[in-house]
Amino acid sequence: MRDMRALSLSSLLLLLSCSQGPGERPGTPPEHVLLVTVENLRADHTHMWQYPRPTTFIERSDDQRSLDLDLLMERGVLFHRAFAPSGAARPSLATLFTGLPPRAHGLISADGGLSEEVSTLAERLRDAGYQTAGFASSSRPMAESGLTRGFDVFVEDHSEIVYRDGVAVDGLLLRAFEYLKTEFDPERPQFLWLHVGSPAPPWEPQPVPTSTGERDFLTHYLPESYEGPVQTNLGFLDKVNRREIQLDAEDHDALIGLYDADLERANFLLRQVLEIYKHHFESELEVWESTLVVTAGLSGCELGERGYFGSEESVYVQGLHVPLAFHHPPSLTGRRIFEDVVGLADVMPTVCEWMEVEAPSDLEGRSLLARTDRGRRLEPRPVISEHPDGGLSARVEGWSLVLNRGPEEREGAYNLPQQQLFQTSTDPEELRDVSEGAPEALERLLGELRAWEADYPPIGP
């Protein structure tokens, strides 16, 4: 019976795709774009990825679904193998906004700035008539990074919890809500960007005041009996990464608990903003139904797999594998998960094509719209990630290559060998080097990397 049902569904989707002309979109097109970006959002620590902790899922007592990260991923199209171009949030965000790799858009480090010669997604949408607004609670200030170009309104709020009329409110939530009440015009196309800087090291998930009392996320993950050395400050984490502090298994689990609690907290606060966006406007406006929601992690996070905790130094899957989802049921034919290897550079051309806005022609990224609409296979191509000290990684279906063109010993991170090859179909955590036993795959990825570097020469010597 299950096979018959699957066959019938597949046949229906095939008929739907065949009935559409080459330039036609299914359903009703969206009018607005809501972009949600989250730092250090490690894919395999989301509940949607079958992670046992409810880090991205919020259970309700009324059997209704919350507008949490899980819902955004599961009720649209999810790209299961999406990778960031950098373990640092700024370069990854710049790639998402420009469709270019860091060495092409110029923002290559955690504190870098975007080249003035490249255009951003916000600029493209604004020039097409969109009202643009961004609200960020980033781990590092963005005001001078160039990432805010193209936004009519940009507010950066690091206060987290503020008090209004004696009521505790999340700072980002308050700023976004005030904008929605006073400046958001649903009769005009809108581009709204919400950026969450958590769960960024050192993972200090403070309780959140609610109408029923404080919600303490840490108590779910850190045993009351724990009395180890783990602390919630960067100084402690730096000492761990420099191997000045040795952790036992219980300490290691405590650090993972801090990360998971901080992720659940970020999801809880983000849910509040999404709920306001959906329910604030009159029902006849149907703002939520007419909004394309793009959800993207900007990096993953290594959690001690190689003795390193963090993402900015990472060139491995734990620090680069991120969720990427597109949610707009009126113009998507069902909920689907795709296994194609894609990158954050694909977001800008996808949104531009979806909203019928012209994108630059010389992008590294490509539109994923044909994949979402009709299930057409994408032409395989590598996703390249890079660290400014010489670390490189290239990922294609079934394989991952990690190279080091810089120093082998790196202060505050793991030592990086000159070359490693991983067969990710059997070793998804990239822990077993098979470069000596798979020469053909190794040469293929080296060739892919050489071709990419011919298109994007490195910056500097």
User: Where are the domains positioned within the chain?
Assistant: 27-381, 386-455
Residue 6, pLDDT score: 37
pTM of the model: 0.91
pLDDT surpassing 60 at residue 324: yes
CATH placement of domain 386-455: 3.30.1120.10
Residue 59, pLDDT score: 83
What average pLDDT does range 314-342 have in this prediction? 92
Q: CATH homologous superfamily for 27-381?
A: Alkaline Phosphatase, subunit A (3.40.720.10)
110-119, 162-171, 427-436 — which is least confidently predicted?
A: 162-171
What average pLDDT does range 272-290 have in this prediction? 85
1-15, 229-243, 332-346, 372-386 — which is least confidently predicted?
A: 1-15
Q: Write out pLDDT tens, residues 24-48.
A: 777 889 999 999 999 999 999 999 9
Residue 400, pLDDT score: 97
Q: Write out pLDDT tens, residues 166-202.
A: 555 666 777 888 898 899 999 999 999 999 998 989 8
3-17, 42-56, 313-327, 345-359 — which is least confidently predicted?
A: 3-17
Report residue 13's pLDDT band, with 50, 70 and 90 as the boundaries: very low
- Secondary structure (H, E, C), the chain: CHHHHHHHHHHHHHHHHHHCCCCCCCCCCCCEEEEEEECCCCHHHCHHHCCCCCCCCCCCCCCCCCCCHHHHHHCCEEEEEEECCCCCHHHHHHHHHHCCCHHHHCCCCCCCCCCCCCCCHHHHHHHCCCEEEEEEECCCCCCCCCCCCCCCEEEECCCCEEEECCEEEEHHHHHHHHHHHHCCCCCCCEEEEEEECCCCCCCCCCCEEECCEEECCHHHHCCCCCCCCCCCCHHHHHHHHCCCCCCCHHHHHHHHHHHHHHHHHHHHHHHHHHHHHHHCCCHHHCCCCCEEEEEEECCCCEECCCCCEECCCCCCHHHHEEEEEEECHHHCCCCEEEEEEEEHHHHHHHHHHHCCCCCCCCCCCCCCHHHHHHCCCCCCCCEEEECCCCEEEEEECCEEEEEECCCCCCCCCCCCCCEEEEECCCCCCCCCCCCCCCHHHHHHHHHHHHHHHHHCCCCCC
Residue 10, pLDDT score: 38
Between residues 223 and 93, the one the model is more confident about: 93
pLDDT surpassing 90 at residue 306: yes
Residue 408, pLDDT score: 84
- Average pLDDT taken over every residue of the chain: 87
What average pLDDT does range 369-393 have in this prediction? 88
Residue 83, pLDDT score: 98
pLDDT surpassing 70 at residue 245: yes
pLDDT surpassing 80 at residue 333: no
